[in-house]
Structure 1
Amino acid sequence: MKIGELAQRAGVGIDTVRYYERRGLLPLPMRQLSGYRRFEAKDIARLQFVRRAKTLGFTLEEIRELLALSSRRGGDMAGVKATTTQKLADLESKIVELTRIRNGLRMLLNSCPGHGAVECCPILNALGGDENMSGSQSSDKPSDTSGNAARECCSAARTCQDTAPAPALSGLDPICGMQVDPQTTPYRTAQAGVDHFFCSAGCLQTFVATAAR
């Protein structure tokens, strides 16, 4: 069969077939007397193997290794299992990382009131702050971000809240311990069904980064 029929039957584009040939995933076909390349049924099976492996997350390099292992008739399947085991471990690690990122984004969305001055936006303040939103910290920074540092961020952020009334009897900011009025502060988030309120974007940012670890 010609390359067009091969591509159609395998469910890929002609350019994809040529690309796989260049990457060594598909052997170079024999040429007919007319000059056209001639593909066989085994080439369809090979392309389908590549497609299925890609949907499972294997890279082209890993697929090439699997194809090489599959061509060794009588060989041991230990290599195939080892490659698949490593791929599963990589995917599980990515799932953990993506889940943590999703939770961090969810907390940021919950913290944003969706109205007010943009300089008070907790999402922008968290992204532009010193805290690493991935949950990791550099070795030259202390792990304790409470105390004076947290109180300084509170003082700097009060310019965004100077029109708000004095806080009534309310809860406490879990980072710096200052009283917060839940009805007026724009800095809030929910975790495990519990609402938390903060006096500034800096305290909210510290809380979100800590909870994401």
Structure 2
Amino acid sequence: MPSLLLLKRKRSRRRTWASTTPSSRRKRHPRRPRRPIRKEERLAKRAAREAEEKEKAESKAQLELLMAGDGEDNGDHLDHFDMNEITRAEKQSKKKYKKKGKKKEVERAGLQEGFKMDVGDDRFKAVFESHEYAIDPSNPKYKATEGMQQLLEEGRKKRKNGGDAAPDERQVKKVKNAKKSGEELGGLVEAVKRKSAGKTKKR
């Protein structure tokens, strides 16, 4: 008979549980109060986080001082580089704005007046020599700026001239290559003659 009593108790518990609302259930089971140890841990973490943020801010300030240089300029060169802004500024500088007899001034921060790219710089050497860094104007990501046009023109000139080597050096290299190929060809002919002569003797 103890099993019947257990069943009755379970049923009564289910009924009381089903009759209560979710809010009253929450009231029955209040949250445990926070331990003071957790509060101390939180305060310690917060202090560590604040110290870390302060350290980052100091290092960032040092980097800005280093990047600013002498301090003669206002730090305009530290602004974000935006290719779309540069192309837009170049397009607008080429257009003539006439409205009621007045020309509209084009002022864009992205475009530097009188900027000329130094395509003779050694840092561009890989762009001209290696196929991995070749500029592809048919690529949709290609932006036709004046600097890119200068790079393409310089690349065409270098390919036409045969690279950076002087014309005399190129001729010397061609002669050396011709001599090497002539010597190799002569050596091959002699080897074939020896082999054919050796086969005729065996017969």
Q: With the length of structure 2 as denominator, give the TM-score of the two structures.
A: 0.26
Higher relative contact order (CA 8 A, sep 6+): 1
**Larger relative helix fraction:** 2
Greater C-alpha radius of gyration:
2
Q: With the length of structure 1 as denominator, give the TM-score of the two structures.
A: 0.25
